[in-house]
Amino acid sequence: MSDAPMRTCAGCGRKAPQHQLLRFAAVGARLAAGRTLPGRGVYTCRRLVCFERAQERRGFSRVLRTTVVIDPALARIYTDGDG
């Protein structure tokens, strides 16, 4: 699996295979989670701390190159099981 696409966590900067990370994209001006959402994606590790850090550092908006509103409820996907 050495050729798995690598992505960078917007929180901690760690590079990891895409399937190990959570993907987000901008839907309108809101951040939404989803592997199949169209457009530019932004990734974080499956750790809440990375989501929080990306939020604090505006990592989502920076990677998406657009300002997105981040619904705090998105944090739930980090704590509800590991899908």
Nearer CB in complex with Zn ion: 45/63: 45
CA distances from 23 to 17, 36, 57, 81 (A): 12, 9, 17, 16
Per CB under 5 A, does 63 bind Zn ion? no
Per CB under 5 A, does 10 bind Zn ion? no
Per CB under 5 A, does 9 bind Zn ion? yes
Stretch binding Zn ion (CB under 5 A), from 31-39, 42-50, 56-64, 67-75: 42-50
Burial of 50 (0-12, 13-18, 19+ CB in 10 A): buried
Nearer CB in complex with Zn ion: 12/75: 12
